[in-house]
Amino acid sequence: MINVIFGGMPLILLTASLYWAFRRRPGQRPAGTLSLSALLACFAVAFSAYQPTVRALEDAVALDLSRLVSNSATLSAGAAVSAVLLYLNYDVPEAHRRIRWRLRLLAVAVATMAVAFAATPPELMWSTAETQGGLDEGPTSLHIYSAAYIAFLSYAVLDCLTQTWTRSRKATRTTQRLGLRTTAAGCVVALLYTNYKTVNAVAALFGWNAIPDGGRCTSLVTPVSCAFGVTAPAVSVLLITTGLTLPAVLWPVTQFLRRRWERQSVSDLTPLWQDLTQVCPSVVFRTVGGETETDLVLHRRVVEVCDGILTLDEHRSRAVQQAAAAAVAATRHAGTDRGAAIVEAAVVAGAIRAARAGAPAQDDPAPQAAGADTREGDLRAEALWLRSVSRQYATNDIVHRAADHQVSVLTAA
């Protein structure tokens, strides 16, 4: 499991980084795109340092070099996360100003770690100390290394958590809110890791190994140090990366589903729209250009159907309404939205037939269907109601029988 996680994750992250960096986009590249690409690349480097093959090769270069590389990449990833979120929360000039300050802190932290690492003799490195039973007598240089690493990482995690929570409260898109809250969850898990590192670093100053390291990890949670030192950062990286990329991944999916729903709604409205516009051609808007966007077509259809129903208001028969309501009451749809749609479809069908026959206006027209006030200004709610009415208009036997009643009355008259 360990090999799978730390072997496959870098490839996935690097692929995602290259996608964000070189993806073709219409117009100018959005602010923060390169920061997100850098974030994914840094996480890929951090994870690759844990691969057994990489750790086996480091002995030929410098003992524990992979740890320095991994820690530096982790801090760089933390700065990149902050940069992405700053671009979301501030305009570009202000985001640039705040990012420059964080990059200076990052440079100081990484330089301090590199100097401390170079100043530590190989026989006092982490691997040697772990082999001998602990870090309680580690050299001052490694304490300085740990202090620089923990200080900046804690700052970056808290910064990311604050920025994420601020943005999630302002986000209007569901996918963006979900992604940001997933990122916030990753920051919380990362705090477990920073607290673990802080406790162990402080304890080491007093000659005490607070959470003993049991050597190589045999699972995600054993020995116990692996749960905090390996699994926690891995889970936090997974959550943060998922959260920041989720909106971009889900946005095309939600757009596809929205357009499919709009096309289906237009199709469902077509039978009622055709008959209404045939008897009330004045309700049809003038076409401007191609107008092939599904949201625009649906908006027009909804408005035209509504206007058509209102235009036929004087032909709405109470007798048809009562006959349809009585028929619905004998079915399982009584008292439901579908039952109300059946009654309304019957009334509209009767009104269309009356208008075609040139019948006089009703002395006491049937009232409009209830619920118009609650749907006012809500295109989706109005579309859902009208497509239900249109479906019943096209297929329901109750609608046709009730409308035929009005035809027989007109014929008799």
DSSP letters, 248-287, are HHHHHHHHHHHHHHHHHHHHHHHHHHHHHHHH-GGGSPPP
Q: How confident is the model at residue 129 (pLDDT cuts 50, 70, 90)?
A: low
pLDDT (average), residues 370-388: 84
Tokens of 46: 């951090």
- Summarised one tens digit per residue, pLDDT across range 135-146 is 445 678 888 888
Tokens of 3: 């090999």
Q: What percent of the chain has pLDDT above 90? A: 18
CATH topology of domain 2-256: Rhopdopsin 7-helix transmembrane proteins (1.20.1070)
Is the peptide bond prior to 223 cis by the omega test (within 30 degrees of 0)? yes
**Of how many residues is the chain composed?**
413
pLDDT of residue 378: 81
d(CA 134, CA 64): 15
pLDDT (average), residues 256-285: 91
Tokens of 187: 């920051």
Number of H helices and E strands in the chain, helices first, is 16, 0
> Greater confidence, 342 or 44?
342
pLDDT at 130 over 90: no
d(CA 305, CA 308): 5
pLDDT of residue 183: 87
d(CA 309, CA 304): 9
Query: Is 411 exposed, middle or buried (CB count within 10 Å of its CB: 0-12, 13-18, 19+)?
Result: exposed
CA angle 400, 402, 407 (to 5 degrees): 85
Q: What is the domain partition of the chain in residue ranges? A: 2-256, 280-412
Which of 6-20, 95-109, 253-267 is the least confident region?
Answer: 6-20
The dihedral built from the CA positions of residue 58, 59, 60 and 65, taken in this order, carries a sign that is positive
Q: How confident is the model at residue 190 (pLDDT cuts 50, 70, 90)?
A: confident
Tokens of 188: 């919380």
Enter the DSSP assignment of 52: H
